[in-house]
Amino acid sequence: MTVRSGSADDLVRAKRVLLEPANGKRRLGPEGLRTALVDLHDFWLSSRATAIGLTDRVSLIAVGALGRRELAPYSDLDLVLLHDGRRDVERLAELIWYPLWDAGIGLDHAVRTPGQAVQVAATDLRAAFGLLEARHIAGDPALSDKVRAAVRQAWRAGIRSRFDEIADSAAQRWAKVGDVAHRVEPDLKNGHGGLRDIQLIDALAAAQLVDRPAGAVAEARALLLDVRTELHRLAGRARDVLRAQDADEVAAVLELGDRFELARALSGAARAVAFAAEVGLRSARGALPRRGLAALRRAPVRHPLDSGVVEHAGEVALARDAAAPRDPALVLRVAATAARTGLPVAAGTLHRLAETAPELREPWPRAALGELLSLLGAGRGMVDVVEALDRTGLWGRLFPEWGAVRDLPPRDRAHVWTVDRHLVEACAQAARLTTRVARPDLLLIGSLLHDVGKGRDEDHSVVGESLAVHIGRRLGFPGPDLAVLGAMVRHHLLLPHTATRRDLDDPATVARVVDTLAGNGLVLDLLEALAEADSLATGPGVWSPWKRTLIRDLADRCRSLMAGEPLPVPGPPSRLSQELTAAVLADERPQVRVTEDGPPATVVIAVPDRPGTLAAAAGVLALHSLEVHAAELRTAGKVAVHEFTVSPRFGGLPDPALVRADLVRVLDGSLRLSEALARKERDYAPAAPPAESVPPPRVLWFDDEASGAVVLELRGTDRIGLLHRVAAALEGCGVDLRWARVATLGASVVDSFGVAGPGADGALPRGERRRVEQAVLAAAR
């Protein structure tokens, strides 16, 4: 298509042709599309400039994405019209801006003299970054070169006084937007490890403080740009946040399989950029020009920190006589020292170690294992250090098995970290719990390795057990310790899954856990601590007082059984239950009591026994913003007693009289519970994710309780009143509910119900189960 210089409509039509598929296929890949868009805009702008007489003492420059030749579809144009005193410059500007505006093209524009351009760059960081990347489009090239040179010279001259502002601005942006690598829906431009961090590194390089990025950062830049280009093309507008529902299509265009492969590639790219930006800022600070009295000060002194390790200019570095080939523990000693002191490892030290440190022989020297445990036991201080080791290849040299989980995105929405980062976070959490267990070394190593089997086709716990034993043997642990380490990884989900999804009053539940652990009390203690560390490292809300109580109760019951002590047995109905039962029998009206021993609290509801009472009670609790963790169900003659363990979603506990009043209205039909819950969900529920990004609910059946009880397990997305809907579905199918456990994991839930059929034996045949399952799934949707 011919693009005339006078009409921006032709420019728009030409862009549309580039974006529209031909024969059902995209005309250009992302890189080719960016190149074509830049060339198209350059041609129109230069032709327009020639047509209006933009030649002597005036020039047009592009900054931003067009200046960098990284223009994505639907991105705004950033243009600056430079002039050296021409009186008709406003007329020239209007002749360029107005056709673009009339055609609906986004435009960020300015008119500057060289002096004004330098001045705005000196006072506005964003403007400075743009002008550092300015590219001549049309007009007087000497004027464009003059401004570019002046801006760069002023940038280098003033970098010392502006550096703190640059570093603070980056830190604030990272804190506000978060990491590209670990966000479910990352901001490709502004996030930590995104495109703006690459521009930051370029700006530091323009100040001659660091080298321009290459290698991994250059590859990351290409991937981030390609994803952003396809995101713009797919959305039909400028967008920087990659949403889950768009990721699969973007991944397909980039031939990355699915959104999980795309997430893994983005994570690796973003972590490379984030690491380069952080190291770049530290290196740049050390390279700042020294003036005045500062230039007379002596160079920073090296302070010894450990054998072969010193502090130099606020970083951990190698002593002059340190040599990794003759000191096998040096890499880990440097890392442990950095984690312990909170100082970063100098980039030069990391690169030197990466080039000279040999692989450790099996078994590791005792000193190397000791330094590893010192690193892992440092808690939060270890997280950035392990990241630095991983980015420079040192961590993979220590743990070759790490490659399978590196940058591996989680499949469970409750997880907020990639698998490798989750392992590091779990280890950091476990460091706080080492005083609770007899073997803190095994707790740290087990926490670091508990999910190392992910990223493979088999059960990650089974694969992980084998890998953990292999790694433990390489580290130098003896045979009995290897068995404990393998059992930790193999059964790391045993306590949380059992405690939150099974009836702990059933002796068969406790016996099965003890049998699984072969009666090993040490493994039980380690698994209890690991369950807490694992939950805390998963995401917000996964570890709760209720979950802590359940796991502690299960572990205590297991210890009692291991010691040959009798297990606690469910006692007779409490005095409160008896009082409520008597009150219901007296006036046939519901009774409600709330006791706050917790958190969590307990709500006991007694009602005349009839179908639908559990669903009604659960729905009323949801109306009063109570999150139900468990429900114990009993029948005393003609009275049903429901005991709920609850926590307020926000605020305090409700007035029992108000709960009772609403329950009465529900049972007599004057309050339509389904409509009230729908209003509650509309007004108070968090913004729901797009339907296409929400996995469908699943129902699983388990028949492994010695008592013969059947367990129905629902896995789905949390929503207000879910327990009410599922209970109504079960009661509608004529199923007898004996108990319920509700585990909320972020936006997901795992609800377990002890159920029995209407027959004397409580069995649920396959056909009956299919009918119940369909009803529960319909309620969960």
Let me know if domain 421-567 sits in CATH 2.60.40.
no
Q: Which of 111-115, 200-204, 546-550, 575-579 has the lowest mean pLDDT?
A: 575-579
Let me know if domain 8-160 sits in CATH 1.10.3300.
no
Cis preceding-peptide flag for 599 (omega within 30 of 0): yes
Eight-class DSSP state of 294: G
In the numeric block, which tokens belong to residue 359? 């692989």
Question: Is 13 strand, coil or helix?
Answer: helix
Q: Check residue 3 and give its pLDDT.
A: 47
What element of type H or E holds 583?
A: helix 575-587
For CA atoms 206, 212, 217, 220, the dihedral sign is: positive
Q: Where are the domains of the chain?
A: 8-160, 178-288, 326-398, 421-567, 580-780
Q: Which of 18-27, 604-613, 661-670 has the lowest mean pLDDT?
A: 18-27
- pLDDT for 706 beyond 50: no
Terminal-to-terminal C-alpha distance of the chain: 50
Q: Check residue 31 and give its pLDDT.
A: 94
- pLDDT for 253 beyond 70: yes
- The HSE-up count of residue 303 (CA atoms within 13 Å, CB side) is 11
Let me know if domain 580-780 sits in CATH 3.30.1490.20.
no
Digit-coded pLDDT (tens) for 120-176: 999 999 999 999 999 999 999 999 999 999 999 999 999 999 999 999 999 999 999
Q: What values do phi and psi take at 290, rounded to 5?
A: -100, 130
Digit-coded pLDDT (tens) for 593-648: 888 876 688 889 999 888 888 889 989 988 998 888 878 777 777 888 888 888 88
Q: Check residue 1 and give its pLDDT.
A: 43
Residues 6+ apart with CB under 8 A from 770: none
Q: Find tokens 């639907």 and name the residue.
A: 74
Bigger pLDDT: 647 vs 63 = 63
Q: What values do phi and psi take at 533, rounded to 5?
A: -60, -45
Digit-coded pLDDT (tens) for 195-248: 999 999 999 999 999 998 878 999 999 999 999 999 999 888 899 999 888 898
What are the CA-CA distances from residue 530 to residues 236, 448, 546 (Å)? 47, 10, 17
What element of type H or E holds 579?
A: helix 575-587
Query: What percentage of residues in the chain have a pLDDT greater than 90?
Result: 58
- Distance CA(337)–CA(332), nearest Å, equals 8
Residue 576 near residue 464, CB atoms below 8 Å = no
Name the band, by pLDDT with cuts 50, 70 and 90, for residue 710.
confident
Residues 6+ apart with CB under 8 A from 28: 18, 36
User: Which string of b and e fits 741-760 if b means at least 16 CB within 10 Å?
Assistant: bbbbbbbbbbbbbbbbbeee
Residues 6+ apart with CB under 8 A from 656: 592, 593, 594, 603
Q: Find tokens 């694992």 and name the residue.
A: 534
Average pLDDT over residues 672-688: 75
DSSP for 672-728 reads: -HHHHHHHHHHHHSPPPPPGGGSPPPEEEEE---TT--EEEEEEEE--TTHHHHHHH
Q: Check residue 301 and give its pLDDT.
A: 75
Residue 451 CB coordination number (10 Å): 25
Average pLDDT over residues 714-723: 83
Within 254-402, where are the H helices? 259-287, 330-341, 347-356, 366-376, 381-391, 394-398
- Distance CA(349)–CA(325), nearest Å, equals 14
Bigger pLDDT: 11 vs 562 = 562
What are the CA-CA distances from residue 524 to residues 84, 100, 441, 446 (Å)? 79, 70, 15, 13
